[in-house]
Amino acid sequence: MKLLLVGATTRPHGLSGALVLLAYHPESDLWSAPGQCTLYVLPAGIPYKDAQGRPRDLIEVDGAHAFEHWSVERPAPDRWTLQLNGVTGRTGAEAWTKRLLAIQSSEVDPPGTDEFLFYEVPGWQVFTTGGELVGEVVRAIHTHVDLFEVRPVGGGPTFFIPVIAEVVKTIDRHEGRIVIDPIEGLVP
């Protein structure tokens, strides 16, 4: 089972056992229609797979709802309330704070031709529009601007490429190839 991270629990909400969830991509269809796939909260402090690669016990989510208690002056579209299967009371919820929320990758629609999933890109080769190999992607990072961390071909410290149209010209998922038009100073 390959899991994709979709959010994180932050703190208990109320006395019923609910938690506040920070959704990584609140615009996703996952949040507009919760319950159409199984969400899991990963146990803290241990890998979710054992030594043989089998999933450890994961707790399922009973429901996720838009967080309605934020003020109009401070909207929070990325905050949701989350009810976990079998978790009741504030003390029960406290045991599940600061955890990662995941979904099985098989439940996600395949990406479009100009899209990618973050777990796919490590190992992809990065070329310039002139055909020069500049490095290999180490990881993708989601911030206010998505980034590829790249290990240069000639060695040395990694550098970051912003995933924006001005820099990233093509992404070929089948070939594991990214073509960039680097701005001055981007590539060491």
- Give the domain CATH number at 151: 2.30.30.240
Q: Is residue 76 part of a domain?
A: yes
Last residue of a domain, one of 71, 88, 107: 107
CATH code for the domain of 84: 2.40.30.60
Tokens of 2: 């390959």
Does residue 131 share a domain with residue 172? yes
Q: How far apart are CA 101 and CA 9, in angstroms?
A: 7
Determine which helix (DSSP H) or strand (DSSP E) holds 31, and give its type and residue range: helix 29-32
CB 84 within 8 A of CB 60: yes
With a pLDDT cut of 90, the percent of the chain lying above it is 22
Answer whether residue 188 is part of any domain: no
Q: Is the pLDDT of residue 178 over 90?
A: yes
**pLDDT > 70: what percent of the chain?**
71
The token duo for 109 is 């629609």
Question: Which phi-psi region, left, alpha or beta, contains residue 14 (left: φ > 0; alpha: ψ -120 to 50)?
Answer: left
Residue 169 has pLDDT above 80, yes or no: yes
How high is the mean pLDDT of the chain?
78
Q: Are strands 125-128 and 177-180 parallel, antiparallel or unpaired?
A: parallel
- pLDDT category, 17, cuts 50, 70, 90? confident
Same-domain status, 15 and 94 = yes
Whether 113 is covered by a domain: the verdict is no
Q: What is the pLDDT of residue 20?
A: 83
Give the tokens for residue 152: 């240069």
Q: For the segment 26-49, what is each residue's pLDDT rounded down to a tens digit?
A: 666 666 555 556 666 766 655 556
Buried b (16+ CB within 10 A) or exposed e, 39-69: bbbbeeeeebeeeeeeeeebbebbebeebee
Strand ranges across the sheet with 159-162: 159-162, 147-152, 133-141, 125-128, 177-180, 168-172
Domain that holds residue 24: 3-107
Question: Quick one: 52 and 98 in the same domain?
Answer: yes
Does residue 56 fall inside a structural domain? yes
pLDDT digit string, tens, across residues 74-125: 445 567 777 777 888 999 888 888 887 777 777 777 777 767 777 788 999 9
**How many distinct structural domains can be found in the chain?**
2
Claim: this prediction has a pTM higher than 0.85: no
Span of 47-56, 73-82, 154-163 with lowest mean pLDDT: 47-56
Q: How confident is the model at residue 72 (pLDDT cuts 50, 70, 90)?
A: very low
Name which of 176, 128, 116, 170 is nearest 153 in CA terms: 128
